[in-house]
Each structure stands twice: as structure tokens, then as C-alpha cells.
Structure 1
Amino acid sequence: MTRLALAAALILLALPAAAQPRPAPPPADIAGAADNPLVGRYDGAVQRLREQLAFGEMRIVTAPIAPGGRPPGSPRATEANSTAVAGRITRMRYEGPDGRSPLEVVRNWQQRMEQGGFRTVFSCEARSCGGNAVDLWAAVTGALPGNAGIASNHGSVVYAAMRLERAEGDVWVSLLSVSGPRDRPQTLIDVVEARPMETDRIVFVDAAAMDRAIAATGRVALYGIAFDTDRADPRPDSRPTIEEIAKYLRANPGVSVVVTGHTDSQGGFDHNVDLSRRRAAAIVTALTRDHGIAAARLTPFGAGMAAPVAANDNEQGRAQNRRVEIVRR
């Protein structure tokens, strides 16, 4: 070693520890991190996001998504390529470990969950997910309001949708993994534990609450409009909720809506579709006749029993399914 090199080495050794470069600390779990016991965690991964809704609705992608043909911002998850599920929703995002591919990460999770009784409903990699996987990435990350924080590296997308059937309610899980910064895999996991929504928690939805719900999800479910059995005219105690719909529409003059009637599964299918349509039409009539809302802004529609939010095999579930929804058009 030359005298110059030896002097440089001695200077480096003499530097205080604080002046010497330190390796970046390893990433750590967020405060309040917790794994879902049915899903577990890939060894060495860290949890960077955890959100939970006591009751919510989302669509789990269960088939390839046809590429292109949709205006920007339009829904990617539709009835043709996804399954609507409702219940307690937990969204988690994991990062790492370094040196593992999204495919290896998802395959390990699939193996672990299949051992626990889950079955894989649909899985895909990159282009086999539909087009160049942009639509699938958008459908999964956008299934809940808010930013999932996962990289938009569509070429590395690996996805799996899994279902556990059980007496107390099915569990659906979607796993979306991509290569993130520095080739560290990022995995977004949505867990939906199907269960009835708690009822009688909100007795009245006012115009402001309708505005917030429609702004967030494009729709609001109303339970304050009641009908006698097999009758289409709203009962008198429905008037306050109808007045709040009118207030919302007057405060948002550029908004048009679909007034959608929903029934439980009691009775024939066609009869319930017709009944729900007549109920929706009666609400439209009340809004135009009594509150001066232009008929052109209102579209009555009857969904009958076709879009339940709970099981119809008990009264609690049937009560949740009997509702009116205001859907932004």
C-alpha cells in the first residue's frame, strides 16, 4: 500500500461513527399493523397499509377483463368479470421481501390459503389478466375509495381471487402483487368476510349524508322509505326521506339519478321486479308532483330481488334487501 493510500485509510478510520455512511434502516410495519389470521403474511414482508370497514361492498375480479373500449375513469369491474360481495372488509398492503418476485409471493399465499380450505376462483399473470393488465390493476386498486398506494407496474402484475365457503359466511380474498421500487414486491390484499350489515344504526339519512355517499360511491341506500306488503305507494312515514332526496337534488341541479327499488326474495321473480319498478315510479311521482323536481332528471328502475346486500334466508337479511337506492346517472 502506498503512503498516500495508507494515509487515506487512516483518515477514514479516524472519522467519528456519525460521519460514516450508514445503511438504510429496514422498512417497518405501520403503527397498528395486524395480519388477517385466515391469510397470514409472507415471511419477511412488512405491512404498510391496513384499513378496515365494519360493513362495505366491493367487486372481486373473477374473470379476465376485456382490454380497451372504456372511457378513462369508467368502472373496470363489471357483472361480466367480477363478483359483488359485501361484509367486513380489510385492505392491507405488504412490501417485500427483497429478491422475491410477485409470482413467487402470490403462489406462496395461494398455497398457504388452499391448505386452509380456500379455493382459487381465478388467477392470472400480466397479459393473461386481460389486455396489458392495466384494467385489472385499476379494477382491483379502485375497488375501494382511496389510494391503495401500490405501484402501477402493469407488466409485472400477478393476481389471484380466492374463496372460503363456510356456514357462518363466505370469505373472499383478492391478492394483487407487482414489482415496486427497487424491485421490491408490493402486494395488495382485500379480505371480505360476508356477514349481514348491522341494522337500525341510522334511522334517518339527510340530504348532506346522501351527498357524501353519492360523491364517494355513486349511490346511497335508503331504508326510510317504507311500503305496505305488496303495495307500491310509499307510506306517510316515508315523507321525510323523500323530502331529503328533493333537497339533495335541488342542491345539485346538474345531477340526474336512477331511483331504484329493491325487494327481498319473497314471492315470484317477475312479480318482485314489477313491484319494485312501481315503487320506484311512485317515488319519482312524489318528487315531481310534490317537490317540483324535473321528471327528466329521474329514472325509475326496478331491480326486484336481483341485487341483495344480505342473505334472504332470515328476516334480518330480508330487511336489508328491502330498500330504495338513489344512483347517480
Structure 2
Amino acid sequence: MRLKCYRTLPFVLSMALTGWALLLAATGAVAQNGTQVPELLGLEDFPEARVMMREYRPDQTYVLALSTFKKVGGTWSAEREQRVQGNVLSRTLELPSGFSAREGFRFYEEQLTSGRARELFACEERECGGSINWANNHFNVIQLYGLDQFQYYSVYEIVRDDTVYYASLYSVRRGNRRVYVQLDLVQMPEVDRPALTLSPAVLGERLREAGYFVLPGFDVVGSAQDWRVSVSESAIDALATLLRQESGWVVALVGHDYGADSLEAQQSQSLHYAEQVREKLKAQGVSEQRIPVFGLGSLSPAGKGERSARVEVVRLPER
């Protein structure tokens, strides 16, 4: 009899949660201040999936879990984590019957990685540790407590124009064969990107894989007679450290300018941007011979986005 009563409680909770989910679906999700929830990144939901929860929290602190969980002093926490501040959009979905946790995970992974995206951490199945930690200690969503052998997790950094998004994606299959997907998105200006994701190892990975990256936190201030560049100091520190570690590397600093001036003026101005970045690196002890500068003006519009100017760091072939 005690077992029967014990099994009834989850059923009642499930019915209550189902009713709440249906209410959300019928009325449309709203933010804490009553406004309509924005669709960050324009992602599509899994076809015919049931939205259990969609919540928007502007200007909130969010903890990115960059490792699995370990118990320290009686408390479970991620060994590596990073706090970020931004607009947070969370959604929990139940997939239609017949689909696996892997299929749900891949559906969102493909959308998240279709542009400029970088994986910060990933695990799958039992290597993620106990599903209960992801459900209770990280996402705080009871439906995510499932089977350890059917779970998938990744964290991505996504750059769109001058905005950075961090995506925490988790999918799991429960013992009743229901599959749930959790996706949390954090939106922030690129200039506020945390230093953890601008480490020398991260920048080195970008240069090895893509051959270049756009210098984050770049801005132009001043007037037409005295344009000055503002750059993330953590980015300069990380790049200088990387060049000290990789003593054989030479990287070009390539300036771009999309102002209304003539091409000649654009090229002159964009070269000036790159030269100012070079001076910051030289102040960190980087040899001028290892950081040649170029100014392309508006001749490379593919990466413009909403920027009026930018500087790219391009790895050159080793001699």
C-alpha cells in the first residue's frame, strides 16, 4: 500500500505539469515582466515536440557548466564553470514518441553549429555522470532526471555580428521512454565576452582550425581626425601569450573599414586600425616582425555583419 501511494505522487505532479505546459502553449510564453519572449538565434523547435516550459529572464547571471559534476564537501558542482551575465532564454521540450535523445540533441546541435560556433565542452551517455545532477543541480528541471546511458550535453559559444550567445544543450531519455531536451541560451554583447573563453588555448584552436578569427571587443572611438581603437584587453593578453607559446607563428593583423569614404581612405583607415592593435601587442613584448599589418578597406564584405570596422587575426604559413 505504501508503494502504491508513493507511485501516485509523481502521477499527480505529472498531471499538474502537463496542465501548466498546455496553458503556456495556449497563451504563448511571456517574460517575467509580461512581455512576449524573443526568439534568440531564430531556432526552430523539434517538429511536433511539446513545449513544457519557455522562459525569458533579461539581464540575469547564468552558470555555464564546462565539466561534469563532482561531489566536494557534500555538495555536487561542476569542476569547471563560468558565470556570465546576459539575457537568458530557457526551453524544455518533450519529443514525440519514437524519437531518441540523440536525435533530439542532433536536431538542435545542427542549428547551433550552422554558423560561427565553437564547442566549449561536451559529454555523452555515462561519461556525463549522473543525470540527476544535470536535472537538479544545473537546470533545475525535474523532467530531465533520466537514464545515464541515454544523455547528451554540450556548451557552445556562438558569435553573430557583435553579439555572443552561449548555448547549454542537454537531452535525456527517462525510464518511461519519454525524451526531453533542454536548451538554455544566454545573449550578451561581444565586448562582455568572459576571459575564460578568450584563453590562449582557445585562440590557438581557432587559428589551427579556421586559420583566423575576428578580434573580439573591437570598437572605434574618437573623430575623423583622431580615430582610436578599443580592444578587449583579455583578447590582447591571450593573443600575446599564445604568440609567446607558439614561437614559430606569424599572424597578420588585417583591418577592415566600411565607412562612406573612398576605397583609398577606407584602406588607409583600416590599416591604421591594424597598426594600433599591433602597438598593443608590441607593448606585451611581441616582435613587430611576427605581426605584419594590412588594410583592406571594404574589399572583404563577407564578414561585415553590422560592424562598421573590424580587425582579423590571420595565421600565415610558417616559413
- TM-score of the pair, normalised by structure 1: 0.44
Structure with larger Rg:
1
Bigger relative CO (Cα 8 Å, ≥ 6 apart) = 1
- TM-score of the pair, normalised by structure 2: 0.45
Q: Which has the higher strand share?
A: 2
